[in-house]
């Protein structure tokens, strides 16, 4: 059984072919194949150990013909011709900065691709990179998996210039701001309590942090905290 965060990503995928970067054991690719949501895939890992884990699982489930494996730092060692064989790319379980670097370092290979991303942190930095690379965020979802909040972003490349996101949209996510799901509110209430404790500690020591206060006020405004 795959984790809730990967299941959420899997439920979005509909293209039939996928490059999964940082595939590790290949759980996402294997789940998609077992559930007839994928015809063929490519599992990518940067080190031999995780790639060997993928190969063991492919042997176990008999998917060696449907899923190829490659050792590569992101898309660096994969030719454009091979990338063009796949409709979409997924990157899950990494920090937002690392995902941003992977995308930015292969930006010329991403044209017309759909992206399924699951950052563990720094979603705001990832959104900035997506904006710079001309990807539109089509959907977002916050999930709770093993008492940890995660975000899933579904993005499409645009041939046209796209509008720059606002400060709030980078921070919270443009779709999240529209939907404001219960998990969205819960996540930022928890984060707000953490920031307020830090701020109180600063106050107790006669210190001040304007950026921290600004972040606190921004979250309060978005989740309507004062009226709870």
Instruction: Express each pLDDT in 33-88 by its tens digit.
Output: 999 999 999 999 999 998 999 999 999 999 999 999 999 999 999 999 999 999 99
User: Can you give the pLDDT at residue 2?
Assistant: 87
For the chain, list residues with pLDDT below 70.
Answer: 1, 226-228
User: Can you give the pLDDT at residue 24?
Assistant: 86
Joined together, the tokens standing for residue 3 give: 């984790």
pTM equals 0.94
User: Can you give the pLDDT at residue 226?
Assistant: 63
Q: How many CB atoms lie within 10 A of CB 208?
A: 10
User: Can you give the pLDDT at residue 227?
Assistant: 57
In whole angstroms, give the CA distance from residue 157 to residue 68: 25
Of residues 69, 58, 52, the one with CA closest to residue 27: 58
């Amino acid at each position: 059984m795959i984790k809730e965060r990967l299941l959420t990503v899997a439920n979005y995928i509909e293209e039939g072919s996928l490059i999964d970067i940082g595939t590790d054991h290949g759980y996402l690719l294997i789940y998609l194949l077992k559930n007839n949501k994928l015809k063929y895939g490519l599992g990518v890992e940067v080190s031999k150990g995780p790639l060997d884990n993928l190969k063991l699982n492919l042997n176990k489930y008999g998917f060696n013909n449907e899923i190829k494996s490659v050792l590569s730092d992101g898309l660096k060692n994969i030719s454009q011709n091979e990338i063009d064989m796949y409709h979409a790319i997924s990157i899950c379980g990494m920090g937002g900065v690392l995902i941003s670097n992977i995308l930015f370092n292969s930006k010329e290979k991403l044209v017309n691709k759909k992206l399924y991303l699951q950052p563990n942190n720094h979603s705001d930095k990832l959104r900035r990179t997506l904006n710079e690379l001309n990807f539109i965020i089509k959907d977002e979802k916050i999930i709770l998996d093993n008492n940890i909040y995660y975000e899933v972003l579904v993005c499409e490349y645009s041939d046209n210039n796209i509008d720059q996101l606002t400060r709030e949209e980078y921070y919270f996510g443009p779709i999240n701001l529209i939907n404001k799901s219960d998990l969205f509110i819960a996540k930022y209430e928890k984060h707000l309590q953490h920031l307020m404790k830090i701020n109180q500690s600063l106050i107790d020591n006669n210190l001040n942090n304007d950026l921290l206060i600004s972040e606190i006020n921004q979250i309060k405004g978005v989740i309507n905290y004062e009226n709870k």
